[in-house]
């Protein structure tokens, strides 16, 4: 029997607050018509250890064509390194119920998630701040936007942000300590809609790499194209607050523009 154009998407999470955030975001954006939840006992191997944990199962009804958008939203809000996101086609169902799903998801005003990548040289000082500030805006306003950061160099791959950036972020109630540096990839060229470079050197490196949708962060927030100073070369914590202020102002101005 041929499947319908509708599906059930399933994910699991061990945090009620995150489960609620995922459900609310998807429903508010009309990416799913219905979310059902229940608690289960999950048993599985993780890192060669047999685990047993209580989890919340979320089952979401939507159109098959919206799976990628739903998946991105779940990945953005989920706390697991490897979340379960499984799509099961609805082979058959009563016509009236499928029509109701269609009606609900047609209300979606955002059918394509915007994706933003912040980039500096090493992805340990400035771009992690950009990612952290942007993620906070997304969380506070329940936006359907995916954000990430990377470096033009792979020198610091796998390392956490520098101490200065972690400290100044913490002073503004942002935790970026768990971010890990990674280099830009060819896949990023296709995946991300906006690439925000921290300085002119990074901007040029990105264009040489093959990116076309590159913007200099200092072009926003009335900074007139200025480079974002790199705290990595600061001899003390003095002045890092100005770096944060610049990144914060520019990111907020950028969000105002893309959300219009």
Residues tagged active-site: 120, 126, 230
Give 159's DSSP letter.
Answer: P
Structure tokens at 255: 């969000």
SS3 call for 61: strand
What is the per-residue DSSP string for 216-254? EGGGSTT-TTPPPP-GGG-SSSTTHHHHHHHHHHHHHHH
Q: What are phi and psi of 214, to 5 degrees?
A: -100, 135
N-terminal to C-terminal alpha carbon distance within the chain: 44
Tokens (6 digits) for 20: 């609620």
Quote the distance between the C-alpha of residue 77 and its chain's center: 7
Residue 147 in 3-state DSSP? strand
Residue whose structure tokens are 């699991």: 12
Number of H helices, E strands in the chain: 8, 8
Kindly give the interhelix angle for 163-171 and 126-141, rounded to the nearest 10 degrees.
Answer: 30
Rounded Cα gap, residues 43 and 52, in angstroms: 4
Q: Could you please report the per-residue DSSP string of 80-93?
A: -SS--EEEEE----
What is the CA angle 107-71-58, rounded to 5? 85
């Amino acid at each position: 029997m041929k499947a319908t154009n509708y599906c059930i998407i399933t994910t699991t999470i061990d945090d009620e607050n995150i489960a609620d955030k995922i459900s609310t975001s998807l429903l508010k954006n009309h990416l799913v018509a219905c979310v059902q939840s229940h608690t289960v006992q999950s048993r599985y191997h993780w890192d060669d250890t047999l685990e047993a944990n209580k989890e919340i199962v979320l089952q979401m009804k939507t159109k098959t064509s919206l799976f990628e958008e739903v998946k991105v939203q779940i990945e953005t809000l989920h706390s697991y390194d490897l979340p379960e996101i499984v799509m099961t086609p609805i082979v058959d169902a009563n016509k009236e119920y499928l029509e109701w799903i269609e009606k609900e998801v047609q209300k979606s005003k955002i059918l394509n998630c915007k994706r933003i990548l912040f980039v500096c040289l090493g992805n340990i000082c400035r771009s992690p701040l950009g990612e952290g500030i942007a993620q906070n805006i997304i969380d506070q306003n329940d936006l359907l936007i995916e954000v990430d950061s990377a470096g033009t160099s792979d020198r610091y791959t796998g390392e956490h942000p520098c101490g200065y950036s972690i400290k100044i972020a913490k002073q503004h109630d942002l935790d970026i300590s768990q971010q890990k540096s990674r280099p830009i990839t060819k896949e990023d060229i296709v995946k991300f809609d906006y690439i925000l470079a921290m300085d002119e050197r990074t901007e040029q490196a990105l264009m040489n790499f093959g990116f076309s949708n590159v913007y200099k962060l200092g072009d926003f927030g009335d900074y007139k194209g200025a480079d974002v100073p790199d705290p990595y070369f600061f001899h003390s914590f003095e002045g890092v607050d100005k770096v944060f202020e610049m990144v914060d102002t520019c990111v907020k101005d950028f969000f105002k523009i893309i959300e219009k």
